[in-house]
Structure 1
Amino acid sequence: MSANTQSMIFTIYGDYIRHYGSKIWIGSLIKLLKEFGHNEQAVRVAVSRMVKQGWLLSERKGTKSFYSLTTRGMARMDEAGDRIFKFEDHEWDGKWRMLLYKIPEDQRQIRDELRKELLWSGFGSFSASCWISPNPLEERVQALITKYDINEYVDFFEAVYKSEDNLNLVEKSWQLAEIEQKYEAFVAQYSRSFIAHQAAIKQNVLNDADCFVVRTNLVHEYRKFLFIDPGLPKELLPTNWNGREAKLLFSQYYRLLAEPASRFFEAVFEEDNDLASKESGYDAHSHPLIVEE
């Protein structure tokens, strides 16, 4: 249960706590996670692990323990939020960013971590140790080189593809058909429940706690696409890319549940936390940030 608990805690930090000062009392967090069937021990174990991993900081105030996002945690949520809540297709500048590395075997752990980070950022690979992206990720790449201190093992290029059509390069580097299948499954599942919850809200039979659970689960499921969808520009996507339909459904569903879900969170949060730390100008309809574990 702990791994699932940790993943859900990330979602709640990104979708709610990030907008209320990024800090919460452990008791409030336990109460929120109870709505999803996670017990107190699982929450405490997961939070302790997140502290060790560098995502959270612990702070004692009297007899109470509070947990806040680290700089690293907030930076990752900012990056993820920019991607997951970007509903417009972006245009391509026609250039490819290419990263090649040759990291020694005795630094294999760093090499494996780098691969995870590159996949997370949307890079694809059509050959060993050669990663590409059509997106302007220069700052992201430089941050990774600095983080892992691998400048001597890395070469980074900005290039134009001349061998074939650019769509052929996309086909070699990403499994778009598999991603489309997952989007199709998401749309099939959540379009039905969206219609049902629209009716339930109109009939006033869906309470705030229910909306909190449904919205959080929605975000939790949709954010998984961050790990598989590279966020390609429209010029490199299939004409009928069903990721667009999934994004529209997610956006509409999210807004449907936004106000009652936020009311429930605030009702729990305000008991033992400082609501004055709520970010200025935050709106329940705004686009929150998502984090990855």
Structure 2
Amino acid sequence: MQSIEKQILHLIDVGEEVEAKTLVDIYTQRDYNEMTIRNNLSKLKQAKQITSTKRGWYRLAPAGKRWLSDINHKYANYNQVFTDEWTIVLLRIPETMRRSKQMFKNSLLDYGFGAYTSSVLISPWPYQEVVQQLAIENQVQDRVKIIRTSLLNATLSKSEAYDVWRLKDIVAFYETELDWIRHQRQNLPQQELALLNVYLDIGMHINDTFLRDPMLPISLLPDHWIGRQTMDLLIQTYNEIATLYPKQSEYARLVVPMFS
């Protein structure tokens, strides 16, 4: 899922029921085309992530609420204890089901799975029930095997994890993000709409981190990992803006702290 789709889900979630016009008004001020926003709403509705309560009004569907909650709570994995057990997903999906296979794999990557091989994906976290649900949603449940087990000979080393999850790219991403959020903190605007735009910008960056970062156990991460530091600063700034945002604004109900 793209960051803008995740952000639209978040805004609908905190607003409980949101009119398409409100979302169009917000995003056209951010140089998005109206049709782009409406197409994203249609895509989310087709994916059964949102539902229409009446013409032009949307709320989260159960699948959308579950997905949003799951991805947001990847962040909590940084505080989890790794038990040396792995969730291993074995794929045997034919080329005739290529689209379903790719959608299923993309969903696993959103949850932080790493591709040990092209047909074996692994996670250090207990996601077996999530994988079962994703397999059903993508109609590949008969082509997927899910195992929760420890490795008999040894666990993955830091260097192996570095390769499997392509952490070199994620480190470079976080270095850029850390510079960006430090700059934003030094230049927060006072004007209401400008502050809303910064809030949404930071939200998009947080969404990117939640989707890109597998949020591995400390034992698998490189020394001096900057991911947690960067993510904490992004969330801190996001929440500070939500606290300061004018309560009389028409958009105030959509501007709330994360994990509130």
TM-score, normalization by structure 2: 0.87
Identity %: 21
**Counterpart of 2:47?**
53
**Structure 2 regions of 5+ residues with no counterpart?**
none
**Structure 1 regions of 5+ residues with no counterpart?**
201-205, 270-274, 289-293
**Counterpart of 2:219?**
235
**Counterpart of 1:91?**
81
**Counterpart of 1:36?**
30
- The count of residues paired between Structure 1 and Structure 2 equals 259
Correspondences of 1:187-198 after superposition (within 5 Å): 187-197=178-188
**Which of 10, 18, 31 does residue 13 from structure 2 map onto?**
18
Correspondences of 1:74-223 after superposition (within 5 Å): 74-84=65-75, 86=76, 88-161=78-151, 162-163=153-154, 166-197=157-188, 206-223=190-207
1: CA distance, partners of 2:148 / 2:40: 40
2: CA distance, partners of 1:76 / 1:164: 29
What is the aligned-residue RMSD (CA, Å)? 2.8
* 1:26 to 1:129, Cα distance in 2 relative to 1, 3 A: same
**Which of 247, 250, 255 does residue 267 from structure 1 map onto?**
250
* 1:107 to 1:156, Cα distance in 2 relative to 1, 3 A: same
2: CA distance, partners of 1:10 / 1:72: 13
Q: Does 1:287 align with 2:259?
A: yes
2: CA distance, partners of 1:255 / 1:125: 34
Structure 1 residue runs of 4 or more that deviate by more than 4 Å after TM superposition = none
TM-score, normalization by structure 1: 0.78
One-letter amino acid matched to 1:102 = R
Query: Would the aligned equivalents of 1:262 and 1:284 in 2 still touch at CA under 8 Å?
Result: no
Which has the bigger relative contact order, CA under 8 A and spacing at least 6?
1
Query: Would the aligned equivalents of 1:57 and 1:69 in 2 still touch at CA under 8 Å?
Result: yes
* 1:109 to 1:284, Cα distance in 2 relative to 1, 3 A: closer
- 1:258 is displaced (CA, Å) by 0.9
Query: Would the aligned equivalents of 2:18 and 2:58 in 1 still touch at CA under 8 Å?
Result: yes
Query: Would the aligned equivalents of 1:91 and 1:234 in 2 still touch at CA under 8 Å?
Result: no
- For the residue of structure 1 that corresponds to 2:31, the secondary structure is coil
Query: Would the aligned equivalents of 2:51 and 2:58 in 1 still touch at CA under 8 Å?
Result: yes
- 1:262 is displaced (CA, Å) by 6.9
One-letter amino acid matched to 2:164 = S
2: CA distance, partners of 1:65 / 1:152: 38
Query: Would the aligned equivalents of 2:162 and 2:221 in 1 still touch at CA under 8 Å?
Result: no
**Which of 220, 224, 227 does residue 208 from structure 2 map onto?**
224
- For the residue of structure 2 that corresponds to 1:267, the secondary structure is coil
Query: Would the aligned equivalents of 2:171 and 2:226 in 1 still touch at CA under 8 Å?
Result: yes
